[in-house]
Structure formats: C-alpha cells, structure tokens
Amino acid sequence: MTNSRATILVPGRINPRVTERLSARFDLVAVPHGPDLEISAEDAERIRAIAVSGALPANWIARLPRLEMIASFGVGYDGVDVRAAAARGVVVSNTPDVLNDEVADTAIALLLNTVRQLPQAETWLRNGRWASEGPFPLSPLSLKGRHVGIHGLGRIGLEIARRLEPFKVKISYCTRRPRPDVGYCHFPTLLGLAEAVDTLISIVPKTPETIGAIDAEVLRALGPRGVLINVGRGTTVDEPALIAALKAGTIAAAGLDVFMNEPQVPQDLIDLPNVSLLPHVASASVPTRNAMADLVVDNLIAWFDTGRALTPVPETPQKT
C-alpha cells in the first residue's frame, strides 16, 4: 500500500493547507469541480485518492479505475456518493470532532444575536442613531427562561447543549433513540419536540429523513414565541414555510447559518427584521479550518502508509 508519490485528485477549491501539505508527499492533479470529471484517460488511470471539499458524484468515482480513498473536507459528507464508493470498496473519510467547538460556539452566538437583536443594535450605533435618536429599542425576546430543543444530539449537538447549561435554560432533544449518557428530556419525534419547546436548534446532517423536516407544521408547533436556529444543513428547513411563518408571526424569529441554495439567500429572508443571517461560517476560523485541512491530509497519509484511514465514515468500513 505504501507509495510516497501516489497521485491524488483535487477537484476545484479546497483549503490551501491541504494542497500545500499533500504536494510534499504526493503528485496532485487539479481539475474543475463540476458535474462531470474533466480528465484524460491517462490521468484517470493514475488517480488513487481524492481530496475534496463539497460534492463528489458517482460518475466521478466510476471514471477512476484505481481509486482507493476519498478524503472529504468537512464533518458532513452528504455531497459524496458514499453508496457508489462503498460498492467499489473505496473508503471515504471526513473531518469529525476538530470543528465541534467552533460550530457549537457559533450556534450559541447566533442564538443570542437572534433573541437580543445584537447585530441590529451594533448597526444602530455605527449609523449614528444612538446619538441622534436615542437608545436602541428594547429587544422583544430574551434567552432567560427559555426551553431549548436540540434537533440532533450528536457530537456537535452535545457541545451545544453543554454550552447552554450555564444559561439556565431547560434543554430537551430529538434523536431516533435516546442517549443513555445525558439527563435531558428525549423526544422521539421532531413535532413532539417542537410542541414542548419555544426554541429549536437544528444540527442534523442531510439525509432523506431530514430534508424539509422543519416544515409549516413544526413551525406552528413551535409557536408565536418560537425561535429557530439552524447550523446544520439548509435542506432541513422548508424555506418558503419559514418565510411565511416569520411574516405571519407564527414564530417570533430565526437565526440561520445555512440555506437551501447556497450562496443564494431568498430576498424575503434578507428583508425580514426578525432574522439573523450568517454566510455559512460556523466552522470558519483559521485554527479550525487548519485542523480540518490537517485531518484530510493525515487521513490520506495514514491510508498510503498503513492501509487504514484515521476517520472513515461508517458507510465505508475498512477491511480488518
């Protein structure tokens, strides 16, 4: 398995630390990132691994006869066709854990921004309105006394919950099965969770079950004091239903770091005064992105040194 100059495919953009480190150890082939793999048959024959940020469809995998491994940049890997990879015996790795703290911190910041309207207050000051018009209006919402429901209590969801505890809010969660290692109240359905809480934080991956899961019914259940925070996947939220709910007062406010069709954000969301919006930056700090980049590279080095990736995804188990 050892080959110090194996060839690795790099589609489109990826953190430059990945290519800097990989180039010292491997031969790299850079190609555009698109629906079809633009590569010669000769280069396709050389490729033994891929370092990718974003989507990797089955037709790309099919073009590479010697492909052994796909190292995905990010904890979420729903853009990679893992079924096609598994069918070929190709191992897929991701970058879990190294971004947990950053995303959890951002979720709490987004929640505070949303309920206390802190970005709007800063804009009020910067535009000179404090001096010319007086104090910023009182925020209609507060975090005090809230019941927060976490949609997904995986690694990041648990970090969010731990950060919420000092705020003295009640915490519940929704997962398919209860976690025996926490004392929070478990709800087996998202609707049941939404009916019980007034604040919903979503941190679930994109799966067939989660697409559009936060729909008009869930938003109605959340109620007129309800606050929705999404730092998971934009596909989880029915955006037209959310816009309608925010306009009608069905819920009070929303804070979003992810969107259905990034980087396109509906103008209706941008225009709403009761929304806090971020451009998908939950893990976007230099230290965290460097740690993610290092894990991509370290996975590839481990594969070619030992035949085992460090953080393979469960759908593509490694041979023992």
Domain ranges of the chain: 7-96+286-306, 100-277
| Cα torsion 22, 24, 26, 27: sign | positive
The confidence score (pLDDT) of residue 4 equals 54
280 is catalytic: yes
- Could you tell me the fold of the domain covering 7-96+286-306? Rossmann fold (3.40.50)
Instruction: Answer for the pair 201, 222: CB distance below 8 angstroms, yes or no.
Output: no
The confidence score (pLDDT) of residue 318 equals 82
SS3 94: coil
Q: Do domains 7-96+286-306 and 100-277 have the same CATH topology?
A: yes
Where do the H-state alpha helices sit in 24-165?
41-46, 58-62, 82-88, 100-116, 118-126, 129-133, 155-164
CATH 3.40.50.720 fits 100-277, yes or no: yes
Cα–Cα distance for residue pair 264/267, rounded to 1 Å: 9
Side-chain half-sphere of 239: how many Cα atoms within 13 Å? 17
Cα–Cα distance for residue pair 35/118, rounded to 1 Å: 41
The confidence score (pLDDT) of residue 320 equals 55
Catalytic residue among 33, 151, 233, 289: 233
Distance of CA 147 to the CA centre of its chain: 23
Phi and psi angles of residue 154, each rounded to the nearest 5 degrees, phi first: -85, -155
186 is catalytic: no
Catalytic residue among 63, 88, 179, 280: 280
Cα–Cα distance for residue pair 218/179, rounded to 1 Å: 23
217 is catalytic: no
The confidence score (pLDDT) of residue 188 equals 97
- Residue ranges of the chain with pLDDT lower than 70? 1-4, 320
The confidence score (pLDDT) of residue 1 equals 43
pTM: 0.94
| Cα torsion 123, 263, 104, 197: sign | positive
